[in-house]
Structure 1
Amino acid sequence: MPVIQTKTKLTEELKKLKHKLDLGLVPTMGALHNGHASLIKKAVEQNNNVVVSIFVNPTQFNNKEDLDKYPKTLDADIKLISEISNDIIVFTPEVSEIYQENIVPKTYDFDGLDKVMEGEFRDDHFNGVGTIVEELFKIVQPSKAYFGEKDFQQLRIIQKLTEIQHIPVEIIGCEIVREGHGLAMSSRNERLSKNTRQKAALIYETLKTAKNKFGTENALIIKDWVNDQFKNNKDFKLEYFDITDVETLTPIKNKIKSVKYRAFIAVYVENVRLIDNIALN
């Protein structure tokens, strides 16, 4: 299984492929888990050739401490990938290979998709995401790219990126993979104590109850109910809970039958920030 660190060598490797127009890309920041594995497996099922990138992108972190603490487990990541397929190309560039000396994000107009929820609390985060994803698309030139729905707002941003930058790649959204007790799989989960990790199942339980309530109750009442679930729980700090239109990510005002909605949540647990979401209809 080729493990490549430079753009030049990756380009050379891609030129050797027999089916150059059938190429799947799975961009990751490493610390891979079963959620990532599901993306990679889907890419392998749908493409003759697959590239998995492992790159901790500095321009999408607005908190340097968060960047410094991000786990780096390259040997374990390569092992996980090889157990899925030894034909996958793994791209593990250094920061200098991607950004040279100019470690700043580009600025995009995502038509407001980046101004709510994550964008409200993480300055320039989605410009950083857009910058690295556009660069990876330019280097790899995949026909399909795979992203998890746990980061649903990011998924919508990347779909918008391909539209505004006219990038000919099909974006495949993949279902959230959860731990046995319901917590959405995330590299950040490893920073939680075992006991708190079990308690964090409350996040998904709250989303499921919100979904049940959405059928009969007003969205503002549901939002107040969610706030109450976390208000008196010293183990959690709710950053936001929103119900939005799936396409525009506009917060709901009046429920419209023909519109699809999704509930989004961000919670701090043991100073670890966890996000999740659920389709409501």
Structure 2
Amino acid sequence: MRIRGLFLLCISVLGFIALAGAVNFAANEWKRWQDARDAQGLLQVFANLAYLSERFSVERGDVNQALLAEGPRPQAAIDTAQKNRGRTDEAMTAAQAYLKDLDAADQELIAPGVARIAAMLRDTRTLAESEIAKPKADRNPETTARYVSTATDLLQNIARVSAVVELRAATEDISIGRLASLARLSLTIRDIGGRRSTLITTYAGSKVAFTPAQVEQFLLLDGQVSAVWSILLHTARELDATAGITPAVQEANAKFMGDGAKLTRELFETRTV
């Protein structure tokens, strides 16, 4: 549980960067200009997609834990999972609601992607529920593996739609572009880090060593996290004067790139000896 808790904490602090970048301008500077209402609406969609990505990442962790459990889930775990699922639903509903406030051209551009996300969310949950209800001995390993893949696809699709919203909003002002870019980078790191954590936690309680292919996959994901983090730091330096950005980056650096990375590598080393 300590391992899962630390991983979730690391995921959350990355979300703070994304939300600081996505919401800050929408809540402050852009309100000064009446002609920026379209960009403000776009960033509301962007911010709620950021919430959605963060909250589904936590929901995915609940499901992964349930799929690996030997027996039925304790009621406390079920209650927590339901609460986290409700938060995911809130973010999905908010993104859809703000989408309706955009002008027709922006809706035409973004709505299909948001609809696809909603459909993938339903399908991914259905896939998981069919397996969680079974005893572990009766679960289909292929279906469990497919859940991991479809959940990853969902997060990547959220990132793709977010990138479209980001580019559309960035046409209004370069500052919008920087803030949205920072948020997107943090979401990218969280997605890669989540896949790295899933790889580790799947084998954390076993004595099975990683295969050469799994070692290669871990090192690839670990390297991608470091590379994107370097880009994020460069982008964040251009936003030092923006409220909330620097503290969020510092906290993520300490917890995600510090404590979380250390634990991840320690667990990785136990599976490669």
The normalised TM-score by structure 1 is: 0.27
More helix per residue: 2
More strand per residue: 1
The normalised TM-score by structure 2 is: 0.28
